[in-house]
Structure 1
Amino acid sequence: MQFYYGNQMPLRILDEAEFWKHQEEEHTVVIRELVKGLEQEFVDALKKWEAALAETHQQVVRYIETVIRSGAQVTQELYQHVMQLVTFCLQQSDQFIQLCRQIKTESAAVSANATAKVVLDHIIRESEYFTGIAQTLLYNNQDGR
């Protein structure tokens, strides 16, 4: 992600969050469909994550609409709400990564499926990409805008 967006930065990070929350939501389905015989506890966890990620995705979309409507006048309060949402998205992605790692290491069905291991590694890397973007933005904005 480039950091030359100036006052469009809230919109840029929201665009990233919108894309990655949707990706993570889809990844829950990919894992369930790819890993035949996946243990029920992981199937249930992935279904809960799918719903939670969809909810976060919709919240990000609502904030995008709000920032767009505000034009060039993003208030400090709105900016802080966006940063809080980005923080939540970062934490959520970290937790999703933990679940993916747990599935990879604890699932007998995954241990017998080399393709599933590769896909899980890919999914983890993609979520880590988003967390890197979010962390950079948050650390660069600790002192406000």
Structure 2
Amino acid sequence: MQFYYGQQMPLRILDEAEFWKHQEEEHTVVIRELVSELEPEFVDALKKWEQALAETNQQVVRFIESVVRSGYQISDQLHQQVMQLVAYCLQQSESFIALCQQIKTHSAAVSSNHTAKVVLVHIIRESEYFIGIAQALLSSGQ
């Protein structure tokens, strides 16, 4: 993500967060569908994650609507709230990665499914990409 968006940067990062939270939500379904014999504790965890990611995605959408309604005149308070939401999204992605790592490492069903291992690595990399974007924004102070 480029950082030359100026005043629209908060909207740009929210756009990214919306996209990646939706991706992570879909990834919970992909894992469950791909690994038909996935252990019940992982299936349950993925279903809970699907709901949590959907809720975060909706929260991001509400912030996008607030930024748009403000006419892109973002108050310091709204900017701070956006940054806090981005930090939350980053932490959520880190926790989602931890679950994916746990599934990859501890699931007997995944250990015998090469495709599932490859897909989990891909899912982890995608979430890491979002984390990189979020960390860059948070460290830049924009």
TM range (shorter): over 0.9
Distance across 1 between alignment mates of 2:44 and 2:129: 26
How far residue 137 of structure 1 moved from its aligned partner, in angstroms, is 0.2
Q: Which runs of 4+ in 1 moved over 6 A?
A: none
> CA separation in 2, counterparts of 1:112 and 1:17?
33
2:88 matched to which residue of 1? Answer: 88
**Which stretch has the larger CA shift, 43-52 or 66-75?**
66-75
Residue 124 of structure 1 aligns with an amino acid whose one-letter code is I
Displacement of 1:91 after TM fit?
0.1
Match of 1:105 in 2: 105
Structure 1's unaligned 5+ residue stretches are none
2:38 corresponds to which residue? 38
The TM-score with structure 2 as length reference comes to 0.99
- Length-normalised TM-score, structure 1: 0.97
Aligned match of 2:10: 10
C-alpha displacement of 1:100: 0.2
Stretches of structure 2 lacking an aligned partner (at least 5 in a row): none
Letter in 2 for 1:131: I
Query: Aligned partners of 2:120 and 2:3: how far apart in 1?
Result: 30
Q: Which amino acid aligns with 1:46?
A: L
> Matches of 1:137 and 1:73 in 2, distance apart?
19
DSSP 3-state at the match of 2:24: helix
User: How far is the alpha carbon of 1:72 from its aligned partner?
Assistant: 3.0
Q: Equivalent residue for 1:122?
A: 122
**Whole-Å Cα distance in 1 between the matches of residues 92 and 14 of structure 2?**
15
- 1:111-135 superposed Cα distances (whole Å, 9 cap, x missing partner): 0000000000000000000000000
Q: Distance in 2 between matches of 1:34 and 1:73?
A: 45
Distance 1:74 1:58 in 2: 20
Distance in 2, Cα, partners of 1:103 & 1:52: 18
State the AA in 1 paired with 2:116: A
| Number of residue pairs the alignment of both structures matches | 142
C-alpha RMSD over aligned residues: 0.5
One-letter code of the match for 2:39?
Answer: E
